[in-house]
Structure 1
Amino acid sequence: MFVQFLRDNKVVAGVLAVLRIYLGYEWITGGLHKIRDGFDATGFLQGAIANTGGEHPAVQGWWGTFLEHVALPNAGLFTFLVMWGELLVGIALILGIFTNFAALMGIIMNFAFLFSGTVSTNGQMILLTVFLLVAGYNAGRYGLDRWVLPFVKNYTHRHIHHRKIQAV
Structure 2
Amino acid sequence: MFVEFIRNNKIAAGVLTFLRVYIGYQWLMGGWGKITGGGFDAGGFIQGAIGKASGEHPAVQGWWASFLEAVALPGADAFTFLVMWGEFLVGIALILGLFTNFAALMGIVMNFAFLFSGTVSTNGQMILITLFLLVAGYNAGRFGLDRYAIPYVRQLFTARKEKNFEPKTVEVH
TM-score range, shorter chain: over 0.9
For 2:21, the equivalent position in structure 1 comes to: 21
Give the TM-score taking structure 2 as reference length.
0.95
| Offset of residue 165 of structure 1 | 3.6
The alignment status of 1:135 with 2:136, answered yes or no, reads yes
Q: For residues 131-165 of structure 1, what are the alpha-carbon distances to aligned partners after superposition, in whole Å with 9 as ceiling and x for unaligned?
A: 00000000000000000000000111101110024
For 2:2 and 2:13, the matched residues in 1 are separated by 14
1:146-161 matches, cutoff 5 A: 146-161=147-162
For 2:75, the equivalent position in structure 1 comes to: 74
The alignment status of 1:101 with 2:130, answered yes or no, reads no
For 1:113 and 1:165, the matched residues in 2 are separated by 46
For 1:54, the equivalent position in structure 2 comes to: 55
For 1:87 and 1:9, the matched residues in 2 are separated by 29
Q: For residues 61-94 of structure 1, what are the alpha-carbon distances to aligned partners after superposition, in whole Å with 9 as ceiling and x for unaligned?
A: 0000000000000000000000000000000000
Structure 1 gap ranges (5+): none
For 2:118 and 2:166, the matched residues in 1 are separated by 53
Structure 2 gap ranges (5+): none
For 2:32 and 2:158, the matched residues in 1 are separated by 37
The alignment status of 1:84 with 2:85, answered yes or no, reads yes
For 2:6, the equivalent position in structure 1 comes to: 6
| Offset of residue 167 of structure 1 | 6.1
Give the TM-score taking structure 1 as reference length.
0.98
> Secondary structure at the residue paired with 1:73?
coil
For 1:116, the equivalent position in structure 2 comes to: 117
Q: For residues 20-50 of structure 1, what are the alpha-carbon distances to aligned partners after superposition, in whole Å with 9 as ceiling and x for unaligned?
A: 0000000000000000112110110000000
Number of residue pairs aligned between Structure 1 and Structure 2: 168
For 1:163 and 1:81, the matched residues in 2 are separated by 35
For 1:102 and 1:37, the matched residues in 2 are separated by 23
Letter of the 1:31 partner, please give it: G
What is the aligned-residue identity percentage?
68
